[in-house]
Amino acid sequence: MSPLVHGAIAFDRFICVKYPLWYRSNIATRQLLLPLVVVVAVLLFLPIGFYLAFLRRNSGPVKFFCGRRASFGNFYTMIIYVVLVFGYFLAFLSNVFSFILVHTYYNTFKTDNYKYTMCLSRNASLARSLKIAVIVSFVSFLLISVPNASSFLDIINPISPLTLQISTYLSVIAYSINLFLYIALSPEFRHRTLHSITCGYRKAFPESQGHIEVLEKKTTTIRS
């Protein structure tokens, strides 16, 4: 259900960026809504999958490049393929649109640096986070959605075994590379990872001091 999680997070982020006031009053206080939808979807999918796999446990020798077809049959597997393909694709589109919106806001705030210093800083930070999300979601779409799309097409009309084999390798690479992408691209995630690995020896947020100083300056200005 990873594509559902990616899609839910990306959609939530897009709504927050596109309609911030509406989001704050209607969605921000209901943060459990999207996770609940994902959990319900998982609870619906899993029992059906286990039941189908149990029914097919004595089907005899099979040979598929994708074990889902051997375990669940064509119909249920096609549903999984659709979720994988469109889940990551919609997550990628949502992240792209969010990044474009934030980048547009960032350029707007740059026209008056004195008046919009705090907005400029926040949008720059959000733009960096969204850039990472766009890259990761694109890699997931390219290496997971595209290979699963080929498997989906193979159910409808058999395609080259070599193509299916390459698609399987791409999916394995995609599921392995995301962690390293986050570590390489996100300083915050990298520091959190080092903080966890070193059992707290490495400071988790070395860049947070800059944010504290900015907030202190803002507070001092308001008081004066």
The 10s digit of each residue's pLDDT in 101-130 is: 887 776 666 655 555 555 555 666 777 778
Token pair listed for 200 = 């707290």
Find, among 73, 67, 136, 71, the residue nearest to 99 by Cα: 136
pLDDT score recorded for residue 145? 82
Containing structural domain, residue 85: 3-203
* Percent above pLDDT 70 for the chain: 74
Say which residue the tokens 């080092």 belong to: 194
Looking at the domain assignment, is residue 224 inside a domain? no
Looking at the domain assignment, is residue 221 inside a domain? no
Looking at the domain assignment, is residue 49 inside a domain? yes
Looking at the domain assignment, is residue 34 inside a domain? yes
Contact 30, 110 (CB under 8 A): no
For 194, the enclosing helix (H) or strand (E) is helix 187-197
Token pair listed for 194 = 């080092």
Count of CB atoms situated within 10 Å of the CB of 105:
19
Look up the pTM and report it: 0.70
Contact 126, 219 (CB under 8 A): no
Token pair listed for 218 = 């803002």
Query: Between the CA atoms of 158, 162, 168 and 172, what dihedral angle is there, to the nearest 10 degrees?
Result: -170
- Total domain count, the chain: 1
Mean pLDDT of the chain: 74
pLDDT score recorded for residue 93? 92
pLDDT score recorded for residue 223? 39
pLDDT tens for each residue of 24-77: 777 666 677 777 888 888 888 889 988 988 888 777 676 655 677 778 888 888
Looking at the domain assignment, is residue 95 inside a domain? yes
The whole-angstrom separation of Cα 209 and Cα 182 is: 22
* Alpha helix stretches (DSSP H) within 56-160: 67-72, 74-109, 117-140, 146-156
Residues with Cβ within 8 Å of residue 190, at least 6 apart in sequence? 182, 183, 184
Task: Find how far residue 18's CA is from the centre of its chain.
Answer: 18
Say which residue the tokens 């193979």 belong to: 154
